[in-house]
Amino acid sequence: MDHYYWFALKSVPQVGNVTFLRLLSHFGSPEQVLKASVSELSSVKGVSAAAARSIAEHDFRAWAEAECERVHSSGVQVVDILSHRYPRLLMQIADPPPFFYLMGALEGSETAVAMVGSRHASQYGLCTATRLAKELAGQGVTVISGMARGIDTASHWGCLKAEGRSVAVLGCGVDVIYPPENDTLYRTLCEGGALISEFPMGTSPLPENFPRRNRIISALALGVVVVEAGEGSGSLITAQYALEQGREVFAVPGNVTTSGSRGVNGLIKQGAKLVERVEDILEELAIEPLATHPLEQPRSFPLTPQEAELYALLCQGVLQIDDIIVQSALTASEVSATLLRLEMKGIITQLPGKRFVVV
């Protein structure tokens, strides 16, 4: 029941993040806010009479008790803004969440770069995201993303496969696995990274949640790398938040003939730092490379058209062999033979249950 009153105050209609924090500053704790009279609440700058009445009249007990039980039974941590564990960078934005839900551990993630991009990424975008994330991890940099399909998933896996730390900021409850095919990624992040969300337990992945969570992705990082994005992409929202928060914005140039590159190429026109190598990011952010020698160049490997097709599929996340057969244009026997070749080249590995993932 440690955060009972935090959950209670957050559940009150008309109490958003800014109002919550003003009340917290004035009264010292959510419990004292909820015990205050309407006149006392109304005396706080920025708190309307309607909000004061809503706080005084709202019956929060059942919901707050249920949320405490959900947190306890799921083994979820709650980090509030008064805790020494609350990230300093997140505290600096205009409307930081008063608290967030956490699976895993954030410690060691102070030097971080966010990587975002299209859910419908090309093979070029997926491979580039994987490579950059691996190289960032190799330099001790945490990779932040949103666990969405496409570039987000490739970024997380690239970092984790290099034994780095990765953090996913979710647009749903921290106990909700979305997209569902990322269940292995979700569990891996719980063990070797972190998942965080400002949304209550059990919150569905509603479309309106994702633009809001993007401000946290950018806030937790020193800079944001947009790998691939079309016009109107949600990744451009993250880039805009980054600019507003004083973060650096980077962009990987895309093919000028494809619509999926217009957004990211537009960022470069507007002044985003063009990224070809990981050094472009490290130098701009003044992050000293861990190695004194030049960074190892990414391993290259020739792929047949069939291998390239399956590699592009697996860059989007872990897939079971039956799903690969359904999603590819190959027969079952061709899929099996192609997966074996990719394994022998050291490009993918097989997990229990005939599930495959990019190394």
Model pLDDT for residues 133-151, shown as the tens digit of each residue: 999 999 999 999 999 999 9
The overall pTM is greater than 0.85: no
Contact, 339 vs 295, CB < 8 A? Answer: no
Work out the pLDDT band at 193, boundaries 50, 70, 90: very high
Structure confidence by residue, pLDDT tens digits, 311-340: 878 877 788 999 999 888 789 999 999 998
Other beta carbons within 10 Å of 4? 17
pLDDT, greater one: 203 or 288: 203
Query: What is the DSSP code (8-state) at residue 188?
Result: H
At residue 350, does pLDDT exceed 90? no
What residue ranges define each of the domains in the chain, with the CATH number in brackets?
A: 1-74 (1.10.150.20), 112-284 (3.40.50.450), 305-358 (1.10.10.10)
294 has a pLDDT exceeding 80? no
Of residues 229 and 295, the one with the higher pLDDT is 229
pLDDT at position 6 is 97
Q: Count of CB atoms within 10 A of residue 199's CB?
A: 21
- At residue 301 the predicted structure's pLDDT band, cuts being 50, 70 and 90, is low
How many angstroms separate the Cα of 338 from the Cα of each of 109, 157, 276, 311, 320?
A: 37, 21, 30, 10, 14
Q: For the chain, what percent of residues have pLDDT higher than 90? A: 72
